[in-house]
Structure 1
Amino acid sequence: MRIAEKLIRTTMLTILFICMTQFAAFAAGTPIGEVVSMIGSVVAEQPDGTVRQLELNEQIITQDVIVTGIKSTVEILFKDESIYSQGPEARISLDDFVYSEEKSATRLLFSMGKGTFRYVTGQIVKTNPDAFALQTPTTTIGIRGTEVFAVVTPQKEEIGNTKLSKGHTMTVGNKSLDTPRTSVSVDPMTGAISDPTPVSQETINKVVKEAPMTSQGELGNADVSSKDIERKIESFKQQIERNKGSLGSLDDKPDYAQLHILKVQKTSLETSESNHDSGDTTGDLGGGGGGGGGGH
C-alpha cells in the first residue's frame, strides 16, 4: 500500500509541476500561433529557463525559442495567417509578434539561429511590411509578399525564395531579390552577400523535404515513427478542414490555387494513412506539394 500511495503522490506532483510550468510560460507571453504539424521532438524555451515539450495544436507564445531535435520538424500557423516551418536540429527565437487592427502597432521580429527554415508571409506583411524582419546571425531579411527559405550553418547562409508574388520583392541586407526562385549566399565571417542567382530545383526539393508544410500538402522526410505518422494524419485532416473553410460559398469565385492545395493535401493524407496501415515507417514519404504553395 505504501508503495502505491508513494507512486500516486509522485505522479500527482509531476502533473502539478507540468501544469505550473505551462501556466508560468503563458503568464510570461502572449499566444501568437499554434503547432499545426510536427514530427520527433520539439521544445519551446523561454528566457526565464522554462522549457515546454510541444505537441500538435499547442500554443506558441512571444519570446519562445523553438528547438527541433534530430529527425524532427515543426510547422506553426501564426495569428496573421503566416506559416512557418523548421527542419531538424534548428532553432529560432520568436522575439516579437504583434498582430493588431491598428496597422502601426503590427510588427514581427524572428531571429534564426541555425538550421533550415521556411516562411510564407501573412497579414503583417500586407498591412505593415516595414515592421517585418527575419534575422540570421549575419543579416536581416525583409519581405514583401513571398515564400522565403534560409539554410543557416556556421560556414554559410543561403537565403532565398521559392515564390514571389507579382510586384513584390525581398531584401537580404543590401541585396534585392526581385524575381521568383532566386537566392543569395552570405559569408558569416565577413558578412559579404553574393549577387542573387537562380535557386536549383535540387535545393528547393531539399528545403521542402527538411522543413515540410502540411498546409501545402507536403509529406516531408522519410524514416518516421508510427506516432509521427499518426501526427501527420491528424495534421492533414485539420489542414483540409481549414482549407475547406477558407474556400467561401458556392457563389464565390473559385480559388483554383487553394483547390489544388486541397487536392494535394487529400492525396498526402491517403498516402500517410496507407503507410500507417501497412506499418511502413521507413519508406520515402516524398515531397508532397513540392516547392512551396499558397503565398499571401
Structure 2
Amino acid sequence: MLVLFPVATLAAEEIVGSIKTVEGSAVVVRDGGLLEARPGIRLLRGDVLRTGENGRIGVIFRDDTLLSLGGDTEMAIEQFAFAPGAGRFGLVLHMIRGVAAFLSGQIAKLAPDAVRVETPVGTVGVRGTRFLIRIEG
C-alpha cells in the first residue's frame, strides 16, 4: 500500500501557506474531514482553521501575511492568489467567530484592495498593516 495519495492530492492543490505554531486544541477542516493542526501542515484554499477554547494557531501565507488565531476561533481561507509576475493578487478570509490578529504581507502592499476579511456583521478591507478582530456571540 502506498502512502502517496495525500501527497499527490496536495500537489494538485495550490498551497497557500502553512501552520507555524499550535498550542492546545486546534484542527484544520478540509474536504469535510478533520486534520489535527500541527506545525508544518500546508494549507489550501478552502481550508477552515478551528481552535478549541484553549487553542491557538499561527499561520504564515506565501506572501508573508501572518495570521494568529486565539481560542474558540473559526476562520476559512476563501481565496488566495499571489502571482506577482502575472499581476494576480487576492486574499479573502471568512471569520466565523473568535479572535484573530492579522499582519499584512506582500498582497496588501502590492494590491491593498485585494485583501479583505469577511465577518458575520461586515467586511474589513485591509488598508493598514495590522489589526485585531474579535467576534463575540
- Whether TM exceeds 0.5 here: the answer is yes
Matched residue type, 1:152: I
Q: Look up the match of 2:18.
A: 34
1:92 matches 2:81:
no
Written as runs of structure 1 = structure 2, the 5 A alignment for 1:1-296 is: 20=5, 22-23=6-7, 26=10, 29-46=13-30, 48-102=31-85, 104-154=87-137
1:53: how far off? 1.2
Give the strand-richer structure, 1 or 2.
2
Normalised by the length of structure 2, the TM-score is: 0.89
1:87-131 alpha-carbon deviations (Å, 9 max, x no partner)? 111100001011111464111100000000110001001111111
Partner in structure 2 of residue 7 of structure 1? none
CA offsets per residue over residues 115-169 of structure 1, 9 Å max, x none? 0011000100111111111111110111123211111013xxxxxxxxxxxxxxx
Amino acid at match of 1:123: Q
Q: C-alpha distance in 1, partners of 2:98/2:114?
A: 24
Query: Would the alpha carbon gap of residues 100 and 78 (structure 1) be closer, same or farther in structure 2, given more than 3 Å must change?
Result: same
8 A Cα contact 1:25 1:50, kept in partner = no
- 5+ unaligned residues in a row in structure 2: which ranges? none
1:104–1:128 contact (8 Å) kept in structure 2: no
Instruction: Read off the aligned partner of 2:24 and give its amino acid letter.
Output: G
Task: Report the structure, 1 or 2, having the larger helix content.
Answer: 1
Q: Is the 8 A contact 1:103 1:128 kept in 2?
A: no
Identity over aligned residues, as a percent? 26
Q: Distance in 2 between matches of 1:29 and 1:148?
A: 29
Amino acid at match of 2:17: G
Q: Which amino acid aligns with 2:16?
A: I
Partner Cα distance (1:25, 1:139) in 2: 34
Mark the CA change 1:63 to 1:153 in structure 2 (over 3 Å): closer, same or farther: same
Name which structure has the greater RCO, CA cutoff 8 Å, separation 6+: 2
**Deviation at residue 43 of structure 1 after TM alignment:** 1.1
**SS of 1:124 mapped into structure 2:** helix
Larger Rg: 1
What SS does structure 1 have at the residue aligned with 2:83? coil
1:31 is displaced (CA, Å) by 1.1
Q: Unaligned regions of 5+ residues in structure 1, if any?
A: 1-12, 155-296
1:24–1:68 Cα change, 3 Å: farther
Q: Which amino acid aligns with 1:99?
A: F
CA spacing shift, 1:148–1:101, aligned 2, 3 Å: same
TM-score for both structures, normalised by structure 1: 0.43
Count matched residues.
137
Aligned-partner Cα distance in 2 for 1:27–1:114: 30
